[in-house]
Amino acid sequence: MAAAEQTQEAPGHKNEKVGEVVSTKMAKTIVVEVTRRTAHPVYKRIVNKRKKFYAHDEEQSAKVGDVVRIIECRPLSRLKRWRLGSIVRRAVQVAVDHPALAEQADTRVKKTLKKK
């Protein structure tokens, strides 16, 4: 009877954090920077404290600049103890398709090749 009661326990609340994606260079892993505001212990001044968390992103849906919610989970690797919960806000993607800029980039490449 006691064993049946233990298996039916409601799962506890997992720790959640909201932060900005700063890197997506790894496969299925994102780096999320979480910023919090705290009072300085001596000067009582409000300071921003930042910490980076490695989170698992299975579908690789998050991009740099997105604001995401990460949820605590079991250790997935040496550094990953979080998983992507949801994307709160997408980053603004700026695309530049101007022919003059493309020509400038081509001339820069040609100049660097000539130097070598």
Averaged pLDDT, 34-39: 97
Residue 1 CA neighbour count, 13 Å, CB half = 0
pLDDT of residue 9: 47
Q: State pLDDT tens for residues 71-90.
A: 999 999 999 999 999 999 99
Average pLDDT over residues 46-58: 97
Letter string b/e over residues 83-111, b meaning 16 or more CB atoms within 10 A of that residue's CB? bbbebeeeeeeeeeeeeeeeeeeeeeeee
Domains of the chain: 9-115 (2.40.50.140)
Q: Tell me the C-alpha distance between 109 and 94, whole Å.
A: 23
